[in-house]
Each structure stands twice: as C-alpha cells, then as structure tokens.
Amino acid sequence: MINLDKINLDIGDYADIRIIYNESNHITLKDGDFEEISSGENFGVSIRVLYKNGWGYVISNNPKDINQLIEKAYKMAKLSNKESKKEVILKEYKVVKDKYEIVGEINPINVDIDEKKEIILESYKIMKDNIIKSITVSYSEGYCKKIFANSEGSYIESKKVGCILRMNCVAKENNNMNFGAERIGGVDFKIILDEYKNKSLEAKNKAIRLLKAKRCPKGTFKVILDPELAGVFIHEAVGHAAEADLVLQNDSIFKDKIGERVGSEYVTIIDNPNIEGGFGSYKYDDEGVRGRETIIIDKGILKSYLHTRETAGRLGMELTGNGRAEGLEKPIVRMSNTYIKPGDWNFEELVEDTKNGIFLKGSRGGQVDTGKGLFQFSAEEAYIIENGELKDLRRDAGLSGEILKILFKVDAVTKDFKLNIGYCGKNGQTVPVGDGGGFVRTVANVS
C-alpha cells in the first residue's frame, strides 16, 4: 500500500484520500457447463479536494506521485469554484482513528475453488427436472481493503468480504413458461453452506408450480407483502425518497416534510449499517463518518433524511453516515440496511385476520418516481386469501400506487425480521444493501 507519511493533504479547505484494493472472483454454470471462472484485482486511489464552493476529484489506478494528483485535484477545485452556484458546507464531525474488518465465521476468500464448484454443481442437480428447460447458477465474491485519510486528521483502515450465490431456472410446459429464482449470501460463506440446497429446491419448485397458476385478479385489495417484497418497497419507495441529495434536487415527496405524518402509526422505517452480518453493513462510510441507526420514519412521522457531510451541512441536519461510493467513485447518499420495524403480529394471525385479500410474495423488480411519489413492482407469486385462509396460487401480480397512500394504509406488521441481500444502483454506482423487515399489511392496487 501507499506510505501516507509522505502525502500532503493540507491543501484547499478540505481534502481526503481513499486507497482501495479489491479482489473479486466469479463462477457461472449454465445448463451443466461452466461458462465462466474468473478472478480480478484492482488497486487505486481516489482524491477529493474542496476549495470554497468547488470540488476537485481525481482517481488513478496506477498512482505514482500522489502529491501531484492532490495538486491536480486542487486546481480542478478552484476551477469548479468559479462555476459553482451553490454553497458547499461540510458538517463537522469528530476525528476518527480506527482499524476494523467485517468478516463472518467462514471467509469466502479462504474457501477452495473446488468446494465452490461442487456447491454450484449440486445446486444445478437439485434444480434439474424434465420440466426445467434452462438452469443458471452463479457465484460471486469480493474482498476490499481500504484506507481513508483526510485533512482533518482522520485515518481508518478497513477490510470487508462478501459473497452471493444466485440460482435461476426456467420451467416450460406446453405453451406456458415461468421463472424461478433465489439468492443467498452475505459476509459469511457459512450461510451458503447451510442453505443453498433448500434455496435451489425452492427456485425449482417455484418455477414449476407457477406453470399451472392462473393470472392474478386486478383491482384494489387488502394485501399482505412478504419480507422480500416489503423490503423492496421500503428500499425503493421510502429509502430513496429519504436520500437528502434527491430532496435538495426537488425530486422527493418527503421534501419539507420533516416532523410531519407521512404514514400510519405502524410504520417505523430504519436504516442501520451496524447490523451484524447485514449485506449493507459497514462501520464507517466513505467519508469517514461513523455509521449509525437512523430512524427515517417513527410511527408514521418523518424524522430524518439520509446524509453525506455536504447534504447534512447544507440542510443543517445531523450526520447519518450514508456517504457511500462504489470503488473509487465519489461518495453520494446511499442506504445501508433499510427495513420496517417489526410489529406484534405473527403471519398466521395476520392471514386469519385479513379475511379476504391477496398475499404477495417475492419480487421481480419495478420502478419508482420519488418526486411524484408513484411506484410499480412485480411480485413473483400471489395467493388468494378467502375467509382468512390462503387459497389459490396466482401469477403475474403487480403492485402499484402512491407511496404515501400505501404508508397511511399500513395497519399491521409481523414480528418477523428478515434482511434480503442485493445491490442498489444510483448515478451509475452499485453498492451492496440489505432490505426487509416483516410481513406488512396494507391496501394497494394489484395490476
């Protein structure tokens, strides 16, 4: 790594440097054949300099003279200041000196590649069936070593690993075709060892059982969302709308609503990077700010946005530690692990109490307009609820509506707490995140 003793960050009004080493490995099996077994390494530095109201930003994958790069960023900051039409205010925080790592019981980097290939092959064999026409199993892992230092005196060393196994299959019978997908992973390879067989079987069974399912009815219904779909809704519709950069861009329905009611008393939404084993967990963000539990919505009242140092400074709010970056990119406001706080119900009681409605399970993605407050998601499965019992399986169920209306109509959340794993894309950057909570009941349009 680079000797920081010879680096001068005392330039401009503020400067920081991130030195990053990444290692990644990928294995993909398609219909019984290994299509990809690859490994990559990446090393580089990222430098930011602030001069008055202008930022200068330089990255290099082959750094030779770091001080020369810092000087270049400084010159860019002075040029940027001349063009800037906004005031840059960095929220103050305590200087940090720390060293930490986020690694589970079994570090995936230390697991032999032959063992990983055996798991992938076993997953393929479990999903294999006469009705299953295509199977893809992919595994990815990453290791990141990072050093952060700034002109205020902070110095942080960190190490983090992560792994994810994805199982996808396609079932086809006559003219019907359906997909089944599952994924599992985190910072501990043990999770994959413990659950990949069950997840592989569930992916196959899901694809097969949906073949004979009828289409889901359309209309406005009382719905129960499972933790996966509820998590996607919380992340996409609530979490992104609470990102302060979008608020400052007038692209959030939560703009100017701090302290106001935006949902029912059953809605408490939290972002927390400190959850042990969470896919979106970290101790410090990419600005050296300590990650903390942030209550975005407390019993229906909007309490906080998510911030970088700049957005917190511009809005005069407290730091939340949500300045995250993919690799060497610029830190921007990003979520970590975002979820709805568990309630008092169990799932069986909730179904029985619902009487008539639809249980929506799993997620196939969707889209959100945070400025207009509109959303649309697709569920993997739907089950009709009649007289308080789960009945027919249905397919092609979509969930749509207005974010605030859905939040106000939430009237129950179960005791369950499940965090899903995934990656969130924003401004061309992708970072690992977690989302979830329990089962949530509300009223929504099923389309």
Give the pLDDT confidence of 129-173 residue by residue, as tens digits.
Answer: 999 999 999 999 999 999 999 999 999 999 999 999 999 999 999
Domain 4-212, CATH 3.30.2290.10 — does that match?
yes
What's the rounded mean pLDDT across residues 263-281?
97
* Residue located via tokens 């090393």: 43
Mean pLDDT of all residues in the chain?
96
**Which pLDDT score, from 0 to 100, does residue 2 have?**
66
Q: Would you say residue 3 has pLDDT above 80?
A: no
CA distance 270 to 175: 44
- What CA–CA distances, in Å, run from 303 to 34, 92, 222, 285? 49, 21, 27, 21
Q: What 3-state DSSP class applies to 133?
A: strand
Question: Quick one: CA dihedral 221, 225, 229, 235, positive or negative?
Answer: positive
CA distance 323 to 97: 18
Can you spell out the DSSP letters for 269-286? EEE-TT-TT-TT--SB-T
Percentage of residues in the chain with pLDDT exceeding 90?
A: 95
What's the rounded mean pLDDT across residues 115-130?
98
In this predicted model, what pLDDT tens digit does every residue of 239-252 receive, in sequence order? 999 999 999 999 99
* Residue located via tokens 């230092």: 149
Helices 113-127 and 189-209 pack at an angle, to 10 degrees, of 20
Q: What 3-state DSSP class applies to 280?
A: coil
What's the rounded mean pLDDT across residues 57-80?
94
> What percentage of the chain's residues is helix, strand, coil (to nearest 5)?
25, 45, 35
Instruction: Pick 265 or 63 by higher pLDDT.
Output: 265
For residue 6, what pLDDT band results from cuts at 50, 70 and 90? confident
Q: Would you say residue 1 has pLDDT above 80?
A: no
Q: Would you say residue 63 has pLDDT above 90?
A: no
For residue 175, what pLDDT band results from cuts at 50, 70 and 90? confident
Instruction: Pick 415 or 365 by higher pLDDT.
Output: 415
**Which pLDDT score, from 0 to 100, does residue 292 have?**
97
- What CA–CA distances, in Å, run from 36 to 117, 139, 140, 438? 11, 10, 11, 36
Q: Would you say residue 356 has pLDDT above 80?
A: yes
Q: How many CB atoms lie within 10 A of CB 355?
A: 12
Beta carbons within 8 Å of 413's beta carbon, 6+ residues apart: 266, 340, 341, 342, 343, 344, 345, 437, 438, 439, 440, 441
User: What are the residue ranges spanned by the domains of the chain?
Assistant: 4-212, 215-446
Q: 219-225 and 357-361: which strand pairing?
A: parallel
What's the rounded mean pLDDT across residues 75-82?
96
Q: Which DSSP state fits 290?
A: B
**Which pLDDT score, from 0 to 100, does residue 77 have?**
97
Q: Would you say residue 109 has pLDDT above 60?
A: yes
Q: Would you say residue 314 has pLDDT above 70?
A: yes
For residue 7, what pLDDT band results from cuts at 50, 70 and 90? confident
